[in-house]
């Protein structure tokens, strides 16, 4: 339990640090900080949840690029999904008051619903027909329902991730999407290579990707686009602010996708990847102004 408490403190401290360092983004922290904290609270709620079974790993299939949980059925959520959903929708109401009309309608509607797990199933299976039928039945805003419903599934994936990661730790993965759940990353981190010897160290460092779904991290090739695997350096570029040289947005001109990157090699304190993307929203804006699309859609880069 102490580990969970520490993680929660770290998120709060991370948000406070970002506020002090980047006061110009205060409106972003006000809007999306509650969501990050709600995710942490949901992870506490799910600390003892064990309604899942990790699929058996099969190396040849996995190493061809099929994520471990790709074909996994929706786990047994019990009443936990409703509890987590309410945490998420409360955070949306707090951070995004402009949506309160739609939020109030959803809260009222689901209060009459005995089992909310049909919504979880519609999102897990990407079943648009089922989702639309629930929207029709409940008479609520489809976009907001799907948005909150997706947020409410993420803590379940984070809960599953450690066990899933152990199942694949000795297998090879070369893709730019998550080897655990198949979701694209919301952040890249440049880290020192394992050998810090001045003569042997790779000065380019290692690139690690952080999954926007389950929070898994995996190493990925430098100078390669995670989306289309383009390796032509002439079709890749990056943008950064003059005053913050360790922050940048990597852009692939071949597929028109981008991702934000933090160079952590010279940082005394390593950033929390659950919080760090909020401090890089100015780079999302810069890339989207040039009509590039994010690898992973997150609340702060689409709303």
Per the CB < 8 A criterion, the answer to whether 175 and 61 are in contact is no
Q: How far apart are CA 141 and CA 130, in angstroms?
A: 15
Please name the helix (run of DSSP H) or strand (run of DSSP E) that holds residue 167, with its range, or none: helix 142-168
- Helix, strand, or coil (residue 31): helix
Query: What is the full per-residue pLDDT of the chain (303 aa) written as tens digits?
Result: 333 444 444 788 888 888 888 898 999 999 999 999 999 999 999 999 999 999 999 999 999 999 999 999 999 999 999 999 999 999 999 999 999 999 999 999 999 999 999 999 999 999 999 999 999 999 999 999 999 999 999 999 999 999 999 999 999 999 999 999 999 999 999 998 765 444 444 456 899 999 999 999 999 999 999 999 999 999 999 998 777 889 999 999 999 999 999 999 988 888 899 999 999 999 999 999 999 999 999 999 986
Residues pairing with 191 in the sheet? 206
pTM passes above 0.75: yes
Tokens representing 226 are: 């995670």
Neighbours of 250 (CB within 10 A): 23
């Amino acid at each position: 339990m102490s580990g969970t408490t520490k993680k929660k403190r770290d998120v709060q401290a991370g948000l406070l640090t970002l506020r002090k360092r980047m006061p110009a983004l205060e409106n972003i922290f006000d809007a999306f900080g509650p969501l990050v904290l709600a995710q942490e609270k949901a992870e506490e709620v799910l600390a003892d949840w064990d309604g899942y079974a990790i699929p058996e790993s099969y190396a040849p299939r996995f190493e061809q690029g099929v994520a471990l949980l790709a074909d996994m059925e929706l786990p047994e959520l019990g009443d936990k999904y409703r509890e987590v959903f309410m945490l998420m929708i409360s955070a949306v109401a707090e951070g995004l008051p402009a949506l309160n009309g739609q939020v109030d309608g959803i809260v009222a509607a689901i209060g009459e619903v005995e089992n909310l797990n049909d919504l979880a199933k519609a999102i897990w299976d990407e079943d648009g027909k089922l989702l639309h039928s629930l929207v029709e039945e409940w008479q609520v805003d489809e976009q907001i329902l799907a948005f909150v419903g997706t947020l409410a599934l993420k803590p379940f994936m984070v809960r599953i991730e450690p066990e899933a990661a152990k199942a694949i730790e000795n297998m090879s993965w070369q893709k730019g999407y998550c080897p655990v759940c198949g979701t694209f990353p919301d952040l890249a981190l440049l880290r020192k290579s394992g050998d810090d010897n001045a003569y042997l160290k790779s000065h380019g460092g290692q690139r690690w990707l952080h999954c926007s779904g389950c929070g898994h991290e995996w190493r990925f090739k430098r100078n390669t686009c995670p989306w289309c695997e383009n390796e032509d350096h002439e079709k890749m570029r990056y943008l950064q602010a003059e005053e913050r040289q360790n922050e940048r947005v990597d852009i692939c001109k071949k597929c028109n996708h981008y991702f934000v990157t933090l160079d952590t090699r010279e940082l005394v304190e390593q950033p929390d990847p659950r919080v760090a993307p909020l401090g890089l929203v100015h780079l999302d804006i810069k890339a989207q102004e040039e009509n590039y699309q994010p690898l992973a859609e997150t609340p702060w880069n689409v709303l």
